[in-house]
Amino acid sequence: MDREKALSLVKEQLTEKRYIHTIGVMETAIELAKKYKADEKKAEIAAIFHDYAKFRPKDEMKSIIIEQKMPADLLLHHSELWHAPVGAYLVKEEAGIADEEILDAIRYHTSGREHMTLLDKIIYVADYIEPGRKFPGVEEVRLSAQENLDAALKQAMSNTIIFLIKQGQAVYPQTLEAYNGLLLNRKDRLND
């Protein structure tokens, strides 16, 4: 699917502010894909569609989670997590995107997962650092992303986990698995 068609489909689903965010994520994802030698076209498409389901009604998302037998624990956590897996499903059904690597990058852009692919990491980090984002810690992650994608991902996840804890919110288990996986798979750790 070409960029203009993808953007046209997504624009119908988003507010103007979220569409501007999506453009920022797309541009950032393409830059990161170039830097880390990933498929730029896949990064572009995954970034364009990453928030496709963001503004779907919660009842619709909940129904899709149940009907499609997505992890039931999603329903125990904040509904902000739902739009990513539901979005991957809807992008496949409504936009006809069948590439599982793209769909996974959409599916895991909010939670992360253990053993994230390069494309997963790029979309997660691009969503976190796109130029419109302004919150404590984002600048450090932006700088880190220019040197080491895994370090940027780890810092972004750490910031998110700390934020959720400070807000008194539960941390999705898959996010903890992703974070722990990044720590435990570091190449520079000492062998015991």
What confidence tier does 185 reach under pLDDT thresholds 50, 70, 90? confident
Phi, psi of 57 (to 5 degrees): -60, 145
Task: Indicate whether 190 pLDDT > 60.
Answer: no
What would the pLDDT profile of 94-138 be if each residue is shown by its tens digit? 999 999 999 999 999 999 999 999 999 999 999 999 999 999 999
What average pLDDT does this structure show over 80-91? 97
Q: Is the pLDDT of residue 187 over 70?
A: no
Task: Measure CA 50 to chain center.
Answer: 7
Sign of CA dihedral 82, 85, 90, 95: positive
Domains of the chain and CATH, by start: 3-184 (1.10.3210.10)
* Strand ranges in the chain using DSSP code E only, listed in sequence order: none
Verdict on whether the full-model pTM lies above 0.75: yes
Contact 171, 164 (CB under 8 A): yes
Q: Which two tokens stand for residue 108?
A: 């895991």
The pLDDT tens digits for 153-166 are 999 999 999 999 99
The tokens of 96 are what? 């006809």
* SS3 readout for 105-142: HHHCCCCCCCCCCHHHHHHHHHHHHCCCCCCCCHHHHH
Report the alpha-carbon distance of residue 106 to residue 97 in Å, rounded.
Answer: 11
Torsion angle, CA of 156/68/94/61, rounded to 10 degrees? -60
The token pair at 152 is 């940027």
Q: In a 3-state reduction of DSSP, which class is residue 98?
A: coil
Residue 68 has which token pair?
């499609």
